[in-house]
Structure 1
Amino acid sequence: MGERTIWEAVGRWRFLLSSWPWRAVAYVLSTPLAAAASLAVLPFALVGGPLAARPVVAVERRRLRLVRAASAGGPVSWWDVAHLLVVVLLAVPSLVLGLALVLVLALIAGPLFVTPDRVLALGFGEVRTVQEAVPFALTGLALLPLLLYVFALVAGVHSTVARALLHPSGTRLRTELVQVAQSRERLVTAFDAERRRIERDLHDGAQQRVVSLVMQLGIAKLELPPDSPAAESVAGAHAQAKQLLVELREFVHGIHPQALSDLGLPAALQELADRSPIPVTVRCHVPARPSGTVESAAYFVVTEALSNAAKHSGATRIEVAASLRHNVLTVEVTDDGRGGADTGHGSGLTGLADRCAALGGTLSLSSPENGPTTVRAEFPC
């Protein structure tokens, strides 16, 4: 998932390689022009009310998109006028940063413009040759990353103030919504961890004891005379124990498949296809493994879709596609059945839709009469 604010971006190691530094530069360097417009409209706003500042406020809201501090739209209020005052106050540091950037760029470009018959002034001294200009250029290269962080700091401070001023009534509500979303995600993660624990306990405990029971009954059956009264009872118990083992293995596999944990989503989906009573074609392009929670949710979406197709659709062919592009994992299951599926009538997809939503994803169903039926889930990674 990409950074949502400039503060998130600054904390990442790839900050200087992203577009964020230049977003900050564009925002800070445009602040003096915004300050001039704000200064011109402020007297009218103070006399005639905040609506007089609507044109400048609209432009300022769009300018704030550079640092993702506010949305465009919403009624103009006195908080917007207060924000214009902040823009005016930030004009001076923005001008200072602009001059500093020009100086650093001049230092870096010095070797390109110096000539033997021209003396080049670089702020801290004069140079006449390329050799003399190189130390200044190296100094400029060293100062540029630091200066970009300073631009980001100023833009970040302004974005924080803008968020507080332009949305004062909604800040607490948005914070609560974020906390609810994070709580739902923690619940899903805890649920998946519990599923893995139950699967591990059943696999290492109950399943192994049933395997031992099957072996002991098999040995007892061999040791008893075929015509003895106990032979038939032991043989029946042996058959029931083997059937119990098969059912237990299916149950354990349904809780959390081992292939998903060990080999990842492509292998787990192929295993599902091999076990399906309907021919299934799997196409996977998942170059990197997403988080275990997302991987598990995607797997169970496909599991439920295949189960529904086998029980209700009358399909003869199913296609499963999974791809990971632009930090979004997409899984899609399409069958050629009769269609008419509905998430509100016991299809089992309603709970999966809630689980997708808890992870910030979406689940959609397309099932016209006479088919085809397509179940599609998308998860941000």
Structure 2
Amino acid sequence: MAGSGQARTVAHPGTAGRLALLGHALLLSLASTVGAVLCCLWIAAVVLVPFGLGLPMTLLCAVAVRRFADRHRQWAARRLGAPIARPYLPTPPGNRLTQLQAVLRDPASWRDCAWLLVNSVSCWFTSGLSLILFLAGLFYSGYPLLVAVTPSEVFREPFGFFAVHGLGQALLVALAGPLLLAAWYLSGEWLAKLNAHVAHALLAPTDKAELLARVDELTDSRADVVDAGASELRRIERDLHDGAQARLVSLGMSLGLADRFADDPETVRRLLAEARASTADALAELRDLVRGIHPPVLADRGLDGAVQALALANPVPTEVAIRLPGRLPAPVESAAYFVIAEALANAIKHAGASRIRIGVEFAHPPVRTTGELMITVADDGHGGARIDDGGGLHGVARRLAAFDGILTLDSPDGGPTEVRMSLPCVWS
């Protein structure tokens, strides 16, 4: 992940990996032919649109092209080790004509068409070349056997290069087999990555598209932050009105009654005791309110101590592993504390877990101060967690989005559940 500062080890595939690449080369070579046919159908459908004949066909081809391109994005992402985002603009609601206009106006649709044409040629110089090297290597390696078991006139000129007379010359031809297999073995990974780079160049979003998507994302996150801030203000107002304010009103009434019954010491003592109790309750509620805004333990002991305190107060046995180089910025610490608290609350309420594990780590490059706070909350519960609108994890995702953070959920039915969160931040 960008900005994490973690070294990435590139593993060179062995023979099994090369054979898997060979299978992919065969599939990609065949798919390039299918892509060329699909591109021709797409162009023909678009040409027929003005005549009123190509509307359904164009929409159908658009869906097929995008699914075809998505599969290639996934394959290229695995080869390059980085995801390739879908570059398409949202399709507006409406009739087929409205949807067709949106598809035709989307630059990504025409870049897909260009990729189909380019891929139908370039794939044979990348994946296809790898497949040809392998098949030719097998052919030449077994050439003496073919000469021995077939009539003499069948394998006289291998691939039309030169005539072969006798088994001795066939053995000399067979030397080309290991050389071609070695070329395939050494170039297979490189050719596969070259094909992936070609796909990335045409199927990945352009800089302009990424900028527009980023603007939309920031607009949405800003709206979420504004909504969350307004909701938090309403919560504070409600807590003050229903809690501390009511206690203070009760305190004032008790003091007023004490003044009225000044001649009755017993009643005055009772009213003063009620006033002291109201004062204590008001202070406790104010303290809880302040703790909900910014916990004192977070200010005093930092994120490490605050998370340890959460784990100690948790009724489910909780293991904590924290590796931090020092204090992080206060807003980041506060956001991290509350997302961990919310993830813990979800695990306790819904997961039925017997053990919970919290991991917090700050990863950064050795020569830079920018990095990423990685948070993991895992439990051994029954799983099946979802990020639903209005749910606790949806609130966590919204809080993270305000900091350009990401939430990833892995919770298969039957468990276990792992919530992974990342927060870009600066080490102070």
In the superposition, the TM-score normalised over structure 1's length comes to: 0.43
In the superposition, the TM-score normalised over structure 2's length comes to: 0.39
